[in-house]
Chain A
Amino acid sequence: MIELRDVRKSFDGVEILHGISTKFEAGKINLVIGSSGHGKSVMMKCMVGLLKPTSGNVFYDGRDFTNLEYGELRDVRKEIGMLFQGTALFDSLTVEENVEFTLKMFTKMTPAERRDRVNYCLEQVDMVGINDKFPVEISGGMQKRVGIARAIALNIKYLFCDEPNSGLDPVTSRLIDELLQRITEQFEITTIINTHDMKTVFDIGDDVIFIYKGNNEWTGPVKDIVHADNETLKKFIKASQFD
């Protein structure tokens, strides 16, 4: 489980996150929704350690991530996988080398064992036979799948996805959603997805946190979202043409 306690983040004196407190349950798909520019990505970056919160704490199964020593921090980070909005695959490495990267850096696996693990991860995302391609040689949807394969190469506990469907056509978006749902269930990981795609919310979401102007405006299970007594959330859902 991941817990945020009163997380605040300011840039040049302007507060973007106004004390967010919430919990993300293990084994569930937790969706962070909200309009662009309201602090979803900043919150995710604070959670994975790319930004340091101005105040407040982030706990990973009770470990205070914001105040860990470098070595302990590195250990927690090995349990984190992240799918970036632009995939962030290393463009100088092949698909196989991308997926193999963390295995090479953090495990004592032999090259043969690494290759087996890479092939297993690529199988999980239905991307068999593209090991020698470079990221630039495959489509955006395929890059997202390879990004997921790279994220799960180590036995991760937490998967973060920042706008996993951005730039994808509706069919590919649904495939990515199904893939994330399958991987979350199969590996029993805590998945946190930043999105403003309400179709994703209703298709695969378990719990939802709605961020509005840097505040935790609404939190609850997906089934309650349509009947939520929150005008801002209702407007957001209506604006996404899904009411």
Chain B
Amino acid sequence: MNFFTEFGKYLLFLKGMFSKPEKLGVYVDRTITEMNNIGIGSLAIVVIIAIFQGAVTTLQIAYQLISPLIAKPVIGSVVSDSSMLELAPTITCLVLAGKVGSHIASEIGSMKMSEQIDALEVMGINSSGYLALPKIIAGLIMIPMLVIISIFLSNVGGILAGEASGILTSEEFIQGARESFIPFNLVFSLIKAFTYAFIITTVSCFMGYTAEGGALEVGASSTKAVVYSAVAILFSDYLLAQILL
């Protein structure tokens, strides 16, 4: 019952964001700032995770598929497909749920505690629209871009690990990746990225916005934002795979 009450509040929060902006230019500026925070601010961690993810996957696939009957390019094919279909969007977004989600929830939660959100409301500004909407739009633009970068770098990581360990050459890896490439896989990956971006940003904004109490509650809202986002990402991961594949 509590879940449905909270979910209803979440939907009302989303509805409440949409009103005529007081000044469009200010919202555009805020969106660009948030794009920088979410996108550029998360680039380093995404690059590191993607390269190691591709490298480790290559080594493990090679370990499992050692057989003279299986051609080496198959390793490239499996690594490339699994990166595109699952690892890049899901792992990247789970990490972003921790990094971006906790930051958003604690930022908005702190503003709530220090009456800054009340100040916005008294001024006649739609506080949820002003605070949350630019973050959500920025997330919807930047997180899919980070996922695309992650897919590319996972393959780079796979190639580097293959060459470094002598398991397969870069030509064999690329040959396998090319042969198994289906354009829909990329579309599927982007659908996942958009869905996860929406979940991360909206859940985190909601958790921050509904925080009540003091510093402890801000911490709790930040933790909840990460946990709920992660669970929702995994649930929607299953749902999207079931529906679209």
Contact = CB atoms under 8 A, between A and B. Distances in A.
A238 interface: no
A101 B29 CA distance: 13
Interface in A222-240: none
Interface stretch (B40-48, B90-98, B112-120, B173-181): B112-120
A78 interface: yes
Interface string A92-115: 000000000110111000000000
Given A104-B26, A105-B23, A105-B26, A88 B114 contact: yes
Contact of B118 (A74, A80, A84, A89): A84
Contact of B116 (A70, A88, A105): A88
A85 interface: yes
Nearest to A84: B115
Contacts of B6: none
Given A70-B19, A106-B22, A101 B123 contact: yes
Contacts of B111: 90
Contacts of B23: 104-106
A129 interface: no
Interface in A60-97: 70, 73-78, 80, 82, 84-86, 88-91
Contacts of A76: 124
A124 B116 CA distance: 23
Interface residues of A, number: 25
Interface string B62-73: 000000000000
Contacts of A78: 123-124
A91 B114 contact: yes
B163 interface: no
A48 interface: yes
A73 B123 CA distance: 11
A33 B23 CA distance: 38
Contact of B122 (A49, A89, A91, A104): A49
Nearest to A73: B124
B125 A105 contact: yes
Contacts of A105: 22-23, 26, 123, 125
Given A70-B19, A104-B26, A105-B22, A82 B114 contact: no
B121 interface: yes
Contacts of A86: 114-115
B116 A80 contact: no
A14 interface: no
Given A48-B122, A77-B123, A105-B123, A91 B22 contact: no
Contact of A84 (B19, B119, B125): B119
Interface string B4-32: 00000000000000010011001000000
Contacts of A171: none
Contacts of B123: 77-78, 101-102, 105
Contact of B124 (A77, A88, A91): A77
A73 B233 CA distance: 39
Given A88-B114, A90-B116, A105-B26, A74 B124 contact: yes
A85 to B, nearest CB: 7
A101 B125 CA distance: 11
Contact of B121 (A49, A70, A106): A49
Nearest to A160: B122
B125 to A, nearest CB: 6
A49 to B, nearest CB: 7
B116 A91 contact: yes
A88 B19 contact: no
A109 B116 CA distance: 24
B153 to A, nearest CB: 32
Interface in B141-199: none
Given A88-B114, A90-B111, 18 more contacts: A48-B122, A50-B118, A50-B121, A70-B19, A74-B22, A77-B122, A78-B123, A80-B124, A82-B119, A85-B115, A86-B114, A88-B116, A91-B116, A104-B23, A105-B22, A105-B26, A106-B124, A160-B122
Interface of A: 48-50, 70, 73-78, 80, 82, 84-86, 88-91, 101-102, 104-106, 160
21 contacts: A49-B122, A73-B124, A77-B123, A80-B122, A82-B119, A82-B122, A84-B115, A84-B118, A84-B119, A85-B115, A86-B114, A88-B116, A88-B118, A91-B114, A104-B26, A105-B22, A105-B23, A105-B26, A105-B125, A106-B22, A160-B122
